[in-house]
Amino acid sequence: MHTKKIKKYIKKIREILFFNSLNNFLTILLIFTIFLLSLQSFSWFIFNSKWSVVTTNIPLFAFGTFPESQRWRPITWIISLLLISVLSIIPPKWKWLRKNLLIAWIGMIPLGIFLLYGGLGLQSVMSRNFGGLTLTILLTICSSIFALPIGIGLAFCRQSSLFVVKKLSSIYIDSMRAVPLIAVLFFGQLLIPLFLPLGLEIDRVWRAIFAFTLFVSAYIAEDIRGGLQAIPNTQIESAKSLGLNQLQIIRFILIPQSLQIALPALTNQAIGLFQNTSLMSILGLVELLGIGRSILANPKFIGQYIEVYIWLASVYWIICTILALMAKYLEKRLKIA
């Protein structure tokens, strides 16, 4: 049985890659080029690269300048996130645990804030000590969870029958989509403190989360609105005939189905947000990319940028892949449901 399948695949490959003499030549040339590039890359990777720039700075990449004696706190938080990610991709057998995964994800925010900032018996740590992967994950998770309900609310406001509500939400969404993210981040970091009363100060991490939330919520609103428009009106009419009021229709029909339809687009937003946190290195927050740049500024590691950026690309790729796998599993689960 397996032999037949293998022969079938080989036949398909021959039909696609070796269709005629020109195809044969191009295929062989491409294979030879890939082989040479792979050989050269492998040779550099094993014999010429200097990975000490990565191995000696793993704690910096992971935690920034977080106090060494307190690094168990971000480690605990990151392990908790990995555990929930695994449970989201590979569903647990216990039904109660599957049902409460969303609550567990939301609970990661207060847990992360408590472990990172301290208090209630833990040593207090200033946000300027946050950095590396820990800061990148904090910015991504907080911004995503705050932006999602705001985006859902904006999507419904944009479809509201009230002219003022509809117009204001449209102006907000269109304005945010017309402004580059870096401008919003500059606004959050440099201009917000000017509008605050004397004596009131918001630290830079939360100003960044606020800016990311404002920006991403506008894009989420459009994704959700697309999902809402894909729901047939017959479902709403059927719900009304069954006696459901407007809030029940929104809660049980519109929101679940619009989220299901918009899930691929929302996944793109989450992955894009994770990658866009690298812009904060321009504004002085030393997240993952910022740590890499600060390490390359060290005279000891000057010129080793290839190793650093390959390492950073690998970390981004792994985490983005995990997000994509989680979304893929959730999409399948929603289709089954």
303 alpha carbon, distance to own chain's centre: 30
Q: How far apart are CA 214 and CA 175, in angstroms?
A: 11
Query: Look-up: residue for tokens 């929104």?
Result: 250
How much is the pLDDT for 336? Answer: 46
Q: Give the model's confidence band at 18: pLDDT under 50 very low, under 70 low, under 90 confident, else very high.
A: low
What's the pTM value of the predicted model, to 2 decimals?
A: 0.85
Rounded Cα–Cα distance for residues 41 and 33 (Å): 12
Tokens read off for 231 = 């729901």
Which pLDDT tens digit goes with each residue over 199-233?
A: 777 888 888 999 999 999 999 999 999 988 888 88
Q: What domains sit in the chain, N to C, each tagged with a CATH number?
A: 69-125 (no CATH), 126-336 (1.10.3720.10)
Q: How much of the chain, in percent, has pLDDT values that exceed 70?
A: 93
Distance CA 126, CA 199 (A): 18
pLDDT computed for residue 248 by the predictor = 87
